[in-house]
């Protein structure tokens, strides 16, 4: 297993990253999404558009974009896996991190 680090909020960078993965690892057959973000918020004092944007970009958009870029390649493999790891707070939200 090899890990790679990237800025998941850079959509153009995600696409370039996917291309680079395929070139560096021609036998690539598994991807594990493990990005997370958790900023304290007080929604009763107003929402913070930047926090909402960053949270949705990190937890939802980035895995979708990266999967979309890698899926055509992974489908050519005999066996391939895409796994998304989430924090338990996705199922039991914490009041201070509602987004």
DSSP notation for the chain = -------TT-HHHHHHHHHHHHHH-TT--EEEE---------GGG---HHHHHHHHIIIIIHHHHHHHHHHHHHTTSSS-EEEE---GGGTS--TT---
Residue pLDDT, tens place only, 3-26: 888 888 888 899 999 999 999 999
Residue pLDDT, tens place only, 27-61: 999 999 887 787 778 878 887 888 888 888 888 89
pLDDT classification of 99: cutoffs 50, 70, 90: low
pTM of the predicted model as reported, rounded to 2 decimal places: 0.80
């Amino acid at each position: 297993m090899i890990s790679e680090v990237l800025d998941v909020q850079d959509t153009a960078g995600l696409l370039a990253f996917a291309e680079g993965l395929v070139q560096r690892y021609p036998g690539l057959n598994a991807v594990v999404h493990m990005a997370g973000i958790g900023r304290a918020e007080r929604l009763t004092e107003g929402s913070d558009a930047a926090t909402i944007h960053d949270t949705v970009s990190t937890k939802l958009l980035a895995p979708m974009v990266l999967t979309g870029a890698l899926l055509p390649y992974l489908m050519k493999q005999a066996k391939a896996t895409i796994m998304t790891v989430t924090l338990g707070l996705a199922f039991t939200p914490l009041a201070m991190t509602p987004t």
